[in-house]
Structure 1
Amino acid sequence: MSTPSVIERQRPLSDLDESYYRLDGEELAFFRQQTGLHDDEALKLHIMKVQKDAYQTKPYTCIRWFTFTELQLARFPAYGQLLKLGKEREGAVFLEIGCCFGNDIRKAVADGYPLQNCIVSDIEPALWDYGFQLFKDTPETFPVPFVAGDSLDPTFLEPVPPFTSPPSTPAPPLASVKRLSELQGHVSAIHLSAVFHLFPEEKQLHLARALAGLLSPASGSMILGWHAGLPQKGVFEGRERPDSQHIDLFCHSPETWKELWDGVVFPKGTVRVEAELRELEGGPPRPAGKVYWKLVWSVTRL
């Protein structure tokens, strides 16, 4: 995905802070199983080595805060619905956009989502490659197709109206996909997290419409994720960064997010939208009285 230029600027490794590292019991068990590293200190050193290498490629906040170690998708209210869809709908394509290292897609596969129906995309191919280093697997042992591209670029993902009937052509083999537009109307589930808040309001609408055009018209097809939110729609100002820069984030509230999808992106009454605010954890201490909110949401076709 495209990101604001301030995030792209080279930043020093002194930004990295070991105190941000924390794995709860479920995350620890997942990383032990995935990496084969059962010594906690060895696992920590391994994760920190990948973090350092990746941060020099792309100094993203999610890398600095160890967000890539969190099992976020698996803790969404709609996660069980996602797994049920993958197990019960034949050929249910699951697309993750902004996949980064691939922790969420690996967790979904570990929990039973058919690997052969998964595909991922990110604007930065190097991060997906770091995922193989992080999880000690390979494109041969974890053969989920990766498609590099910017989902705001119409030549990569062209917004089209939501499908009301099945596409006239069959879904392409996932390994052959070069542009996400090739999947329009064929995707049963889409996950993207920590993405929408990177863009101003008009680009968030553009992206939402582009995602809607990918979604299968079948009842139960879904889009889910999280991004920064606020109790009232507006701009979260003065989010302080280590280099004393500030990023203003446009944020929806749960109510305006529901209104966007049910009535603007999709015709009113054709989707069920769930959205709730949760306090964003991890990272550096907050200023006194400051709360960072994450908007956790799902959109399901009726």
Structure 2
Amino acid sequence: MESLFDQSVPWYFVDVPPTNPTMHKLLVEYAGVNDEEVQRHIANIRNKAWRVAPFPCVGSFLFAELVLSTFPVYREIVANLKSGAWARYPEVGCGLGQDIRKLIHDGVPKTSVIGTDLLPGLLESGQELFRDADALPLGQSFFAADFLDTSDENVLSKAVLDGTVDVIHATMFLHCFDRPTQLRACKRILTLLKNRPGVMIVGKQGGVAKGAGAREHPVKGPMGQVGGVVRTNFLHNVDSFKALWDEVGQATGTRWNVQVQEEEIMDRGYLYFDEEEHRWLSFVVSRL
């Protein structure tokens, strides 16, 4: 069992990298962490989270970075959720839920946001990081659930989200699955969205350079052992990601505008996606 939490993997950092000023501000103003305690607070939470989820995003402190607010479409999302034009915002594979807290801090009603992840320990670590377990409780704002489980007993099914959602955030989510499971996940996402043009899915994930072949990527280190799940990651390039959504559309009778941008950033992702052709893919997928 101890091997699950092996710290010798390349993506486990002993020291906290410099915290982005926006995240630092969020922890001070939203969570009430003393300015000089931010780095230590992040380190303490990471050490606890690693004991339940030895994932790259935990070991390398990627959970202390914000993604959604870097998208040009972020202002539109905030404005529509604040005004009530859009009612619900779920984030699948939300991890510690930092982007959700950023939305709330920017004025989005907490009743509009929902986060889900497979492991309750990750969600609880997020509550500790942001000191808001009472304000955003499990079973109400956050759900520990298998997103792909569509049975009536799944807590997400009981939350009655199907057909109510205008925008879904899915960062570091789809790349966790093989290609057939990604197709299943996309179809599941569509069941949550309202049946109208303009609904959207936004996110960021690991991928490969345009022109390089999309590929299966073996799960490394202890991550693939958690919960006894044996799986592979499927990494897209720009063209194969668009092809995935073409297939989603054909299977569901829908059409999608897929905006996907390849980013070559020499960051901590290379510690896990260990290859020269690694890229990040940022995407906004909206229904036509």
| Normalised TM-score (structure 2) | 0.82
Distance 1:253 1:157, change over 3 A: farther
Match of 2:258 in 1: 273
**Structure 2 CA distance for aligned equivalents of residues 286 and 121 of structure 1:** 23
On the 8 A contact 1:13/1:52 being kept in 2, the answer is no
The yes-or-no answer on 1:94 pairing with 2:89 is yes
| 1:39 aligns with one of 25, 35, 39 | 35
Match of 1:11 in 2: 5
Q: Please report how far the alpha carbon of residue 19 of structure 1 lies from its aligned counterpart in structure 2 after TM superposition.
A: 4.0
The yes-or-no answer on 1:57 pairing with 2:52 is yes
Distance 1:14 1:289, change over 3 A: closer
| 1:290 aligns with one of 248, 252, 276 | 276
| 1:151 aligns with one of 147, 152, 155 | 147
**Structure 2 CA distance for aligned equivalents of residues 10 and 77 of structure 1:** 38
Q: Please report how far the alpha carbon of residue 31 of structure 1 lies from its aligned counterpart in structure 2 after TM superposition.
A: 2.0
Q: Please report how far the alpha carbon of residue 136 of structure 1 lies from its aligned counterpart in structure 2 after TM superposition.
A: 1.8
**Structure 2 CA distance for aligned equivalents of residues 189 and 19 of structure 1:** 35
Give the letter aligned to residue 297 of structure 1.
F
Distance 1:272 1:34, change over 3 A: same
Match of 2:174 in 1: 196
Q: Please report how far the alpha carbon of residue 238 of structure 1 lies from its aligned counterpart in structure 2 after TM superposition.
A: 6.7
Match of 2:241 in 1: 257
On the 8 A contact 2:170/2:204 being kept in 1, the answer is yes
**Structure 1 CA distance for aligned equivalents of residues 158 and 70 of structure 2:** 26
Distance 1:9 1:73, change over 3 A: farther
Give the letter aligned to residue 99 of structure 1.
C
**Structure 2 CA distance for aligned equivalents of residues 73 and 10 of structure 1:** 30
The 3-state SS of whatever aligns with 1:130 is: helix
The 3-state SS of whatever aligns with 1:113 is: coil
Q: Please report how far the alpha carbon of residue 206 of structure 1 lies from its aligned counterpart in structure 2 after TM superposition.
A: 0.7
Match of 1:124 in 2: 119
On the 8 A contact 2:89/2:168 being kept in 1, the answer is yes
The yes-or-no answer on 1:75 pairing with 2:55 is no
**Structure 1 CA distance for aligned equivalents of residues 124 and 39 of structure 2:** 19
Match of 1:165 in 2: none
On the 8 A contact 1:100/1:122 being kept in 2, the answer is yes
Q: Please report how far the alpha carbon of residue 253 of structure 1 lies from its aligned counterpart in structure 2 after TM superposition.
A: 1.7
Match of 1:113 in 2: 108
Distance 1:301 1:113, change over 3 A: farther
Q: Please report how far the alpha carbon of residue 240 of structure 1 lies from its aligned counterpart in structure 2 after TM superposition.
A: 6.3
Give the letter aligned to residue 12 of structure 1.
D
**Structure 2 CA distance for aligned equivalents of residues 115 and 140 of structure 1:** 8
Match of 2:214 in 1: 234
Give the letter aligned to residue 212 of structure 1.
L
Give the letter aligned to residue 203 of structure 2.
G
Q: Please report how far the alpha carbon of residue 51 of structure 1 lies from its aligned counterpart in structure 2 after TM superposition.
A: 0.5
Distance 1:295 1:180, change over 3 A: farther
Q: Please report how far the alpha carbon of residue 215 of structure 1 lies from its aligned counterpart in structure 2 after TM superposition.
A: 0.6
Q: Deviations over 1:13-66 (max 9, x none)?
A: 4553234522122222222222323433x2111111110111011111110010
Q: Please report how far the alpha carbon of residue 296 of structure 1 lies from its aligned counterpart in structure 2 after TM superposition.
A: 0.7
Give the letter aligned to residue 83 of structure 1.
V
On the 8 A contact 1:223/1:299 being kept in 2, the answer is yes
- Bigger drift between 69-78 and 181-190 goes to 181-190
Q: Please report how far the alpha carbon of residue 178 of structure 1 lies from its aligned counterpart in structure 2 after TM superposition.
A: 4.3
| Normalised TM-score (structure 1) | 0.78
**Structure 1 CA distance for aligned equivalents of residues 19 and 215 of structure 2:** 31
Give the letter aligned to residue 256 of structure 1.
S
Aligned residues: 274
The 3-state SS of whatever aligns with 2:284 is: strand
- Identical aligned pairs, as a percentage? 28
The 3-state SS of whatever aligns with 1:182 is: coil
**Structure 2 CA distance for aligned equivalents of residues 124 and 242 of structure 1:** 15
